[in-house]
């Protein structure tokens, strides 16, 4: 297979369309199934398993498809509406939270997985955005689902952190004790009309800072993996906003992304896959399976153990709103240099050049295709930001946390 050389912007549009196709094709559309609207977590390794986060991104895909005339508005509306019915009636959960992985046909818990706060958060962000775009029943049902979430139940009263996870077998475990992808949880939690959290939860988690080379004062995440700097930003437009302590989360993600790229440049003698155009270390499938630990400095994890030279296109592409020039260079490099990295849903999940033969994932993962799709659409048209930020609870949550736009010149488009 050979690809014709293609400019970065053309590849970007191809990637947007093919990422969208993942959510249109890897979905249960059986009108008689209790799992209608559920979307696969992966294409190869989990044929009968849906990720509720994939569904959140899939709801956003319906908006993007409608805006680009890839799907008729009425058809997209019907899919969104019936998908929310599935969550209201059939998807297994507790106190408004849902299990991370559920059976595609039944909506029942799979793999003895956890009742996930962050994946519920991603799902409800998709539902809220769909509600703002489609209105009517979709908006009504999204609000019902949002109001069912008992955020306070998931709070550890001893330390004022959200727990990391919950299973019936062992109860709550872990803690969201430092900055990561969870900003959406505080914004949605503090403005809940039914089970609100106190805004002190936003102030409680650690915001440790470290420099990398000449990039200073990065509020970093434990593994330094890029999705942690992306997921909340796919929905929430943090541009030109600061909290009461002067933190600019958008600027922080720009710095973390540049540090991630620089780390790859600095370590290209150690890993053949890394270079100035092959960067973006994030959770993905590698030669030894899925890893959530692929990351870069600054971080607290042991990168010599975590990293193996695997690079995920979603790392750079999901950062396009932060580093557009560097991301476009990476997009063009991936597409023109590695034909085997491209497939029916666009870029595959990862690649690695460290072995005797280059390794390319056969897999596509919903959350990685999702973050690529949303960030490309935000970069091009600001679509997801526009509709999510219209929601009254989002507006109220940002105001309650003191995350407000600075009074400066009008925002420029990318």
pLDDT tens, residue by residue, 350-404: 999 999 999 999 999 999 999 999 999 999 999 999 999 999 999 999 999 999 9
User: Residue 270: CB partners within 8 Å, gap ≥ 6?
Assistant: none
Task: Report strand pairing: 97-99 vs 93-94.
Answer: antiparallel
Q: What distance in Å separates the CA atoms of residue 377 and residue 209, rounded to the nearest whole number? A: 30
Low-confidence ranges of the chain (pLDDT < 70): 1-6, 408-414
Dihedral angle over CA of 50, 51, 55, 58, nearest 10 = -90
User: Residue 302: CB partners within 8 Å, gap ≥ 6?
Assistant: none
Burial of 301 (0-12, 13-18, 19+ CB in 10 A): middle
Is the backbone of residue 220 left (phi > 0), alpha (psi -120 to 50) or beta? Answer: beta
Q: What is the pTM of this model?
A: 0.96
User: For the chain, what is the radius of gyration of the CA atoms?
Assistant: 20
User: Residue 124: CB partners within 8 Å, gap ≥ 6?
Assistant: 56, 142, 145, 146, 149, 188
For residue 371, which of 102, 56, 62, 76 has the smallest C-alpha distance?
56
pLDDT tens, residue by residue, 56-68: 999 999 999 999 9
pLDDT tens, residue by residue, 280-316: 999 999 999 999 999 999 999 999 999 999 999 999 9
pLDDT for 44: 78
pLDDT for 235: 98
Q: Name the DSSP class of 198.
A: P
For residue 292, which of 279, 276, 281, 300 has the smallest C-alpha distance?
281
Q: Name the DSSP class of 411.
A: P
- Give CA separation, 245 vs 4, 162, 202, 210, 398, in Å: 50, 21, 11, 17, 14
Domains and CATH numbers, the chain: 8-191+204-405 (1.50.10.140)
User: Residue 274: CB partners within 8 Å, gap ≥ 6?
Assistant: 264, 265, 267, 268, 309, 311
| C-alpha torsion sign, points 377, 379, 380, 381 | positive
């Amino acid at each position: 297979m050979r690809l014709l050389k293609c400019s970065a912007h053309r590849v970007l549009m191809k990637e947007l369309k093919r990422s969208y196709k993942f959510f249109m094709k890897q979905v249960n559309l059986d009108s008689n199934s209790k799992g209608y609207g559920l979307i696969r977590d992966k294409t190869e390794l989990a044929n009968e398993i849906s990720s509720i986060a994939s569904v959140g991104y899939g709801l956003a895909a319906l908006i993007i498809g409608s805006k680009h005339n890839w799907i008729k508005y009425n058809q997209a509306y019907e899919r969104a509406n019936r998908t929310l019915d599935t969550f209201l009636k059939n998807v297994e959960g507790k106190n408004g939270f849902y299990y991370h992985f559920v059976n595609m046909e039944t909506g029942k818990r799979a793999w003895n997985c956890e009742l996930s706060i962050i994946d519920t958060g991603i799902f409800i962000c998709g539902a809220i955005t769909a509600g703002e775009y489609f209105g009517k029943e979709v908006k009504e049902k999204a609000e019902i689902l949002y109001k069912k979430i008992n955020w306070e139940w998931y709070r550890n009263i001893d330390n004022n952190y959200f727990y990391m996870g919950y299973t019936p077998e062992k109860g709550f475990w872990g803690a969201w004790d430092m900055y990561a992808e969870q900003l959406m949880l505080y914004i949605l939690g503090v403005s809940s009309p039914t089970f609100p959290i106190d805004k002190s939860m936003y102030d409680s988690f650690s915001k440790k800072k470290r420099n990398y080379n000449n990039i200073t004062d990065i509020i970093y995440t434990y593994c330094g993996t890029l999705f942690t700097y992306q997921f909340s930003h796919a929905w929430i437009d943090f541009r030109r906003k600061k909290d009461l302590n002067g933190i600019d989360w958008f600027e922080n993600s720009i710095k973390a992304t540049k540090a991630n790229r620089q780390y790859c440049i600095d370590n290209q003698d150690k890993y053949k896959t890394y270079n100035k155009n092959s960067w973006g270390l994030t959770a993905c499938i590698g030669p030894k399976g899925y890893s959530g630990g692929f990351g870069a400095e600054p971080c607290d994890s042991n990168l010599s153990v975590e990293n193996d030279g695997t690079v995920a296109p979603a790392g750079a592409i999901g950062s396009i709103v932060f580093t557009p020039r560097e991301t476009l260079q990476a997009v063009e490099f991936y597409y023109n240099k590695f034909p085997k990295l491209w497939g029916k849903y666009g870029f595959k999940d990862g690649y690695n050049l460290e072995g005797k033969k280059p390794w390319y994932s056969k897999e596509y993962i919903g959350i990685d295709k999702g973050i690529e799709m949303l960030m490309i659409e935000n970069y091009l048209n600001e679509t997801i930001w526009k509709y999510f930020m219209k929601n009254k609870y989002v507006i109220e949550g940002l105001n309650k946390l003191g995350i407000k736009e600075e009074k400066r010149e009008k925002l420029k488009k990318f």
